[in-house]
Amino acid sequence: MSSRLTQFALALSLLLNCFVLAGFVYRSWIAPPHWHGRMGAHPGSSGARPVSPIEALSQDLELDNAQKEGLKGLFEQYRTARRDRFREIQKVREAMSAELQKPEFDMTKMEPLVEQMARLRAEQQKDNLRAVSELASHLRPEQREEMHTILAERYGGGWRGRRGPPRPPE
């Protein structure tokens, strides 16, 4: 009787491990990105909609009303371009997912998709830096200094939000 109970416990453990592994694979490679984890509402905002990195940076710099008004066009243009690029990335992800669901996926089809994904992400990074450069031109000297500190933290150690604790040295 004891060996049957042990076998049952092992089978349950194996089943649980399979579900955990399947969840990990789904979350890591198949599911669309969950934006609040990486880039959710800014810590000081109401959480109504996700905040882009440029908007979060501008909130951290505590822009005055004149600066905000001068940057409205930049924020709108950046938001539109970012939304369009995200749609393109989603299409590539869906194509990759469809190919990966086949019993034998074709690497000649996957390689161009991976290259396209890398190109889209590189373009997004360039757009981020262009927007930061444009934002910098509207800042006072002390805000510009603070901006460089924030950028060094975020680009050097990952985006944790302005109020996040510093990462311990490895």
Predicted TM-score of the model (pTM): 0.58
Over residues 24-36, the pLDDT tens digits come to 777 777 766 554 4
As separate numbers, helices (DSSP H) first and strands (DSSP E) second, the chain gives 6, 0
* Residue at 163 is within a domain: no
Q: Between residues 66 and 40, which one has the greater pLDDT?
A: 66
Whether residues 95 and 126 share a domain: the answer is yes
Q: How many domains is the chain built from?
A: 2
Whether residues 50 and 24 share a domain: the answer is no
* Rounded percentage of the chain residues whose pLDDT exceeds 70: 79
The pLDDT of residue 40 is 45
The pLDDT of residue 84 is 92
Whether residues 27 and 108 share a domain: the answer is no
Q: How far apart are CA 119 and CA 110, in angstroms?
A: 14
The CATH number of residue 137's host domain is: 1.20.120.1490
Q: How far apart are CA 158 and CA 75, in angstroms?
A: 22
Assigned token pair, 100: 């990966």
Domain limits for position 26:
1-31
The identity of residue 3, as a single letter, is S
In the block, residue with structure tokens 């927007």: 131
Q: How far apart are CA 115 and CA 120, in angstroms?
A: 9
